[in-house]
Amino acid sequence: MRASRGGRKDATGVISLDTYYIYDVYGNLTFVLPPKLSEQILTNGNIPSTLMDELGYQYRYGHRNRAIMKKIPECNRWGKD
C-alpha cells in the first residue's frame, strides 16, 4: 500500500489529506481510496461497502493479469476497461 499526502491550512492549522493506493500480490492497483474515504479508515478502522462504492475506485484483473473491469465512485455498475 502506498499513500500520497497533501495538506491544506485552515484557521486551526494543517489538515492532512491522504490518498491510499492498494495493490494486490502481483503489483496491480486494486483500490484507490481518496481523502474523504481514507478519513473513514482512521475513525472506524474499517470501510463499509456502501462507502467504498460511493467514494472508492476499484479495479479487477483477468487471468492474464490485465485490467478487465473498473468501478469509479458513485457509479452503480462495473465498466469494462
Tell me, yes or no, whether 81 lies in a domain.
no
Q: Residue 15: give the domain boundaries.
A: 2-76
Q: CB within 8 A of 66, min separation 6: which ones?
A: none
The pLDDT, as a whole number, for residue 47 is 81
pLDDT > 70? residue 29? yes
Residue 43 pLDDT grade (very low, low, confident, very high; cuts 50, 70, 90): low
Task: Tell me the three cell numbers of residue 27.
Answer: 503489483
What's residue 60's pLDDT? Answer: 94
| 56 in a structural domain | yes
Number of independent structural domains in the chain? 1
Element (H, E) at 49: helix 49-55
Q: What is the pTM of this model?
A: 0.74
Q: What is the pLDDT of residues 12-28, one digit of tens each?
A: 666 667 888 999 999 99
